[in-house]
Structure 1
Amino acid sequence: LWGLSLVALLAFATGLAHYDPKPFDARWLGFFFGLMLVPALGEELVFRALLVPPPGQPFPIWQAVLAVALFLLWHPFQALTFG
Structure 2
Amino acid sequence: MIIHFLGLEVLWHRVVTAVSTIPDAEAWLGSAALLGIYTLIALPVGFGSGFIKIDIQKSWVVVIGVIAGSLLRPALTEELFFRVLLLPHATENTSPAALWFWGLGGLVIFLVYHPLNAMTFFPVARETFLNPIFLFLAALLGVTCTISYWQSGSLWPPVIIHWVIVAVWLLLLGGYQKLYA
Q: Please give the range of the TM-score, normalised by the shorter of the 2 chains.
A: 0.5 to 0.7
With a CA cutoff of 8 Å and minimum separation of 6, indicate the structure with the bigger relative contact order: 2
Matched, 1:47 2:82: yes
58, 61, 72: which one aligns with 2:94: 58
Q: Sequence identity of aligned pairs in percent?
A: 31
User: Which residues of 2 match residues 1-83 of structure 1 at below 5 A?
Assistant: 1=40, 3=44, 7=47, 22-24=58-60, 26-34=61-69, 36-37=70-71, 38-56=73-91, 57-58=93-94, 60=98, 64=102, 66-80=105-119, 81-82=121-122, 83=125
Residue 14 of structure 1 aligns with which residue?
Answer: none
Give the secondary-structure state (helix, strand or coil) at the position aligned to 2:90. coil
CA distance in 1, matches of 2:76, 2:117: 14
The structure with more helix, counted as a fraction of residues: 2
Structure with greater Cα Rg: 1
TM-score (norm 1): 0.55
Residue-pair matches, total: 73
Segments ≥4 residues shifted beyond 6 Å? none
CA distance in 2: counterparts of 1:27 and 1:39, whole angstroms: 16
Unaligned ranges ≥5, structure 1: 12-16
Distance 2:112 2:59 in 1: 37
> Where does structure 2 lack aligned partners over 5 or more consecutive residues?
1-39, 126-181
Q: What's the TM-score, normalizing by structure 2?
A: 0.30
**2:10 maps to what in 1?**
none
Post-superposition offset of 1:42: 1.0
Q: C-alpha displacement at 1:18, in angstroms?
A: 7.2
Could you tell me which amino acid in structure 1 is paired with residue 74 of structure 2? P
Given that 2:57 and 2:63 are in contact with CA atoms closer than 8 Å, whether structure 1 keeps it comes out as: no
Query: Matched residues in 1 for 2:82 and 2:88: separation?
Result: 10
Deviation string for 1:45-69 (max 9, x for gaps)? 00110000111522537x6254233
Q: Could you say what secondary structure the match of 1:45 adopts?
A: helix
Displacement of 1:27: 4.5
Measure the CA separation in 1 of the matches of 2:111 and 2:55: 33
